[in-house]
Amino acid sequence: MKVPVVVSGVGMVTPLGVSTESSWKAFTAGSSGLRPVTLFDASRWPSGMGGEVDTAALEALFTPGEIARHDRATLLLFAAAREALQQAGLEKDSDERRRRTALLLGSTLGGMPSATAYLRQRETENDHSRIPITPLREMLVQHQAHETCRRWGFEGESLVVSDACTSGTNALGFGLRLLRRGDADVVVAGGFDPFSEFSFAGFHSLLTIAPDVPRPFDQDRKGLQLGEGAAVMILEREPDARARGAAPLGRILGYGESADAHHITRPDPTARGAVLAIRRALKDAAVDPDDIDHVNTHGTGTPTNDAMEAKAIREVFGDRATRLPVTSLKGTIGHSLGAAGAVEAAVTLLSLRDGLVPPTLHHENLAADCDGIDVVSGDARRGVFRHALSNSFGFGGSNAAIVLSAP
Amino acid sequence: MTFAPAITGIGWVRGRERPNGAFRVAEEDLSILDSRPQARRMSRVSKFALAAALQAIEKGGWKDGPGPHDDVGVLCASTHMSTSFGHEFHRGFTGKGKPTAGPIHFTNGCLNTVGSHISLDLGLTGFNHTLVGGFNAGLQAVGTAVKMMQEGPCRAMLCVAAEELSDILIETYRRFRLIPPMAPGEGAVALLIEAPPFSRRPLARITGTWSGHGPDIPRDPSGAGLERAVRKVCDPAKTTCYSACANGTDLDGVEAAAVKRLFPSIEKCLPKKEAGEGFAYTSLLQIAAPMLEGKTGTFVAASQDRLGDISAVSFEVSGEAS
């Protein structure tokens, strides 16, 4: 029998707020985190929108020295990690437990803002030796993991997964497995990614950016908008958490993954891989499809993903799909890439806690190719949710799903 | 460790030493890709990885069809992935006027594209994961691979580590005063790893893996972290060969201190002498090299990254690598 794994702390930074509760309040109120881009000059691009975290609010959490020393990506991650550790009561921990604390992170870009700034300087400065190189340390995706281990003294395994948009979900899933095997006593797991001109240009080059707002599963959907953020969860084996007096916020019951092997960027329209990942997660969680009360979707607002994901939901849940409330956060905060899966899992946990599913912003009319699913739109929806599923699907055909339950 | 998966195939795309001290892959070493026209649009690191994966499959006697193979996955490791494509893409959108950055450079610059090409080519639908790390990332990937196979439902996987060199990468490490003394290297290693029962004669059995985070260099020059990692995976008294991460930098002294305490006298394998410092790629080469050299016995490979990540893998080599 698999040892139950609980979440004892959550930290989240999104375009809606720099804390879990401020973000959650805004998600359920139907607020939008999409605004004109301010972090770089977006005037050359067809769309100038994005989901940026409020810089002033983020920087207010740090000293001027920390802000000068660290890339934006590091600050996002630190803010989420600190909140999660504080909630779990582990921010100042014993040496013994820190030796057995692992860090598992998902990210696609790492410190890309630092890298982009360096490359820009390099293109205008003839003598490259005059350009400060310290910011380049922040560029490597594993650097943020190192800084986090260093700050809090973690000595267990430090692992960074870069699986495109499934990175955050995969980090949580790997953490679940690590705890079940007994390879760590505490796992700090999550995802982060900054808003970056590099990815902004990249998704524009792929013609996947919406001209206005993302409209997940809507008949008028034309693409996504990008965002940024971070979410971190503190995971422990339930007996260990209870023994030290921690109050579980919820459980991660199961995790499943697969690969499409179909196309480098487009999902497999048959949804074969997505269905496989979801079924594996359900099996790992030892729950049936009928036990799932809510699905937090990947729901990017692109024609291909949403049609594929709706098909997967119909295939797994059958007739129940028409009565199974699903939501997408990407209409609200954009697509935060490596952070997305972790943010969505965190919000799913809060949905279970409060019996409330946030609305899918900008969804008005269900598309014909997404028919047969029940998208929560307009107002947040109340209900009794015992188990929920959170999906993520990424470039390269990466598929991941995670099953969570109420405490 | 009671669960001991086997390495049944090895692929190595090797960088060869050039007059300027770097180890670079020659185009003729990628001839296995000639039958794959889609490879022409791939980044060099993707080509290296795919070529190594195909070698491992071929040498491992893989006879399964085109797929889908739901019980076989790909686990890739790299430190930098495609800096050349990423840099090219950046140049395309920062120039004056309308951005000219093309999607090929963006998508092939994505960190998980390397593994995706392998997954796509071979129909491997079990999973496709990419680990990003430093000097130890290849060893860490093997540890992750073993744990994934213990979980099931995976019966086999390709564990691949790859790096490419670019002008900007070399310039960066020169500025960090690591080149020299390191000689940079590019290439890829692929291991075909299977869970028991094995369909092919194993080349080696993986008997222990461990990864952790220790004090970053040079705060702890004693090598205590590396020593701890090795003791987690093997009995030093029963180990016949140590496959080193030595790369000519100050890390060598740290490693030597640990090795001296662990193994008063032991044969050493030094793969980076033949391949340069290839970061994640050469840490996986630390496992492949003894087999490729025809050695047998009980081995341990260990690596400590400058940022403090440490990994160790122990393995028993039973026969010659084909």
Residue B88 contacts A where some CB pair is shorter than 8 Å:
no
Least reliable range by pLDDT among A98-107, B15-24, B241-250, B255-264: B15-24
Tens of pLDDT, residue by residue over A22-80, are 999 999 999 999 999 999 999 988 899 999 999 999 999 999 999 999 999 999 999 99
**Out of A142, A206, A396, closest to residue B128 by CB:** A396
Contact A224, A197 (CB under 8 A): no
Chain A contacts of B103, Cβ < 8 Å? 202, 205-206, 265
Tokens of B220: 């702890």
Q: Which of A95, A140, A158 to mutate to test the interface with B (most CBs of B within 10 A)?
A: A158
**A293 part of contact set with chain B, CB < 8 Å:** no
> Residue A130: closest CA among chain B residues belongs to which residue?
B175
Rounded Cα distance, A258 and A260, in Å = 7
- Output the CA–CA distances (angstroms, integers) from residue B240 to A215, B87, B177, B259, in the order listed: 61, 44, 35, 13
- Alpha carbon dihedral A235, A238, A243, A245, in 10-degree steps, equals 60
Considering only the beta carbons, identify the residue of A198, A257, A395 that sits closest to B127: A257
B125/B148 Cα distance (integer angstroms): 15
| B218 pLDDT more than 70 | no
Is some CB atom of chain B closer than 8 A to the CB atom of A42?
Answer: no
Is B113–A133 a contact, with Cβ atoms under 8 angstroms apart?
no
Closest CA to A14 of A195, A183, A180: A195
Residue of B nearest to A144 (CA): B307
Contacts of A119 in chain B (CB under 8 A): 87, 90, 94
Could you tell me how many CB contacts below 8 A there are between chain A and chain B?
Answer: 188
- Interface probe with A: pick from B151, B213, B311, most Cβ of A within 10 Å: B213
Q: In this predicted structure, what is the pLDDT of residue A258?
A: 97
A348/A357 Cα distance (integer angstroms): 8
Averaged pLDDT for residues B8-21: 92
**Start-end of H helices in B95-235:** 103-109, 113-122, 137-151, 167-175, 224-233
- In A, minimum Cα distance to B92 occurs at A201
pLDDT of residue A80: 98
- The radius of gyration of chain B from alpha carbons, rounded to an integer in Å, stands at 19
List the beta strands (DSSP E) in A260-349: 294-296, 325-327
> Which chain A residues are closer than 8 Å to B214 by Cβ?
155
- Confirm or reject contact between B232 and chain A (CB < 8 A): no
CB atoms < 10 A from the CB of A260, how many?
Answer: 29
Look over chain B and give the mean of its residue pLDDT values, rounded to a whole number.
Answer: 91
Interface of A with B in 98-137 (CB under 8 A): 103, 107-108, 110, 116, 119-120, 122-123, 128-129, 133, 136
Residues of chain B with C-beta less than 8 angstroms from the C-beta of A45: 99
Asked if the Cβ–Cβ distance from B211 to A157 is below 8 Å, we say yes
Check if the beta carbon of residue A400 is closer than 8 Å to that of residue A257: yes
A257 interfacial to chain B (CB closer than 8 Å): yes
Higher pLDDT among residues A124 and B96, named by residue: A124
Is pLDDT of B322 > 70? no
The pLDDT value given to residue A138: 84
3-class DSSP state for residue B265? Answer: coil
Q: Which among B80, B117, B307 has the least Cβ separation from residue A146? A: B307
Among B38, B112, B117, the strongest candidate for a mutation testing the A interface, having the largest count of A CBs within 10 A, is B112
Q: Is B111 on the interface with A (CB under 8 A)?
A: yes
Instruction: Name the residue among A79, A77, A155, A132 with its Cα closest to residue A110.
Output: A77
**pLDDT tens, residue by residue, A18-30:** 999 999 999 999 9
With residue A343 as reference, give the H or E element that holds it.
helix A340-354
Label residue A132 exposed, middle or buried (CB < 10 Å: 0-12, 13-18, 19+): exposed
Listed by number, the residues of chain B in 119-148 with a beta carbon closer than 8 Å to a beta carbon of chain A are 119-120, 122-134, 137, 140, 144, 147-148
DSSP H helical segments within A182-293, as ranges? 197-205, 238-243, 272-285
B36/A contact by beta carbon, under 8 A: no
Is residue A197 a contact partner of residue A226, using CB atoms and an 8 Å limit? Answer: no
Q: What is the pLDDT of residue B66?
A: 74
**Neighbour count for residue A175 (Cβ, 10 Å):** 27
Selected residues 381-400 of chain A with any CB under 8 Å from a CB in chain B: 394-398
Contact check, Cβ <8 Å, A160/B213:
no
Is A398–B116 a contact, with Cβ atoms under 8 angstroms apart?
yes
Cα separation of the two ends of chain B: 27
- With beta carbons under 8 A apart, name residues in chain B contacting A263: 120
Which of A274, A339, A38, A181 has its CA nearest to residue B152?
Answer: A181
Q: B67 — contact with chain A (CB < 8 Å)?
A: yes
Residue B174 contacts A where some CB pair is shorter than 8 Å: no
Mind telling me the catalytic residues of A? Answer: 165, 298, 335
Among B residues 295-314, those touching chain A with beta carbons less than 8 Å apart:
305, 307-309
Contact state of B89 with A155 under an 8 Å Cβ cutoff? no
Chain-chain contact of A202 with B212 (C-beta, under 8 angstroms): no
Contact A38, A56 (CB under 8 A): no
Q: Going by C-beta distance under 8 Å and a sequence separation of 6 or more, which residues neighbour residue A222?
A: A210, A211, A212, A215, A301, A303
ipTM for this prediction: 0.96
Q: Do the chains contact at B132 and A197, CB–CB below 8 Å?
A: no
> Which residues face A280 on adjacent strands?
none
Which residues 140-169 on chain A approach chain B with CB closer than 8 angstroms?
Answer: 140-143, 146, 149-150, 154-164
**Cα separation of A265 and A397, whole Å?**
7
B163-175 pLDDT, tens digit each = 999 998 999 999 9
Per-residue pLDDT at B60 = 86
- At residue B184, what are phi and psi to the nearest 5 degrees? -70, 145
**Regions in chain A scoring below 50 on pLDDT:** none
Whether residue B101 and residue A128 make contact (CB cut-off 8 A), yes or no, is no
Smallest Cβ–Cβ distance between A198 and the set B90, B128, B130 belongs to B90
Q: How far is A259 from chain B (nearest CA, A)?
A: 4
Which of B99, B117, B151 minimises the CB distance to A44?
B99
- Closest-CA residue in chain A for B219? A150
Per-residue pLDDT for B152 more than 80? no
Q: What are B45's two structure tokens?
A: 């690191």
CA distance from start to end of chain A: 19
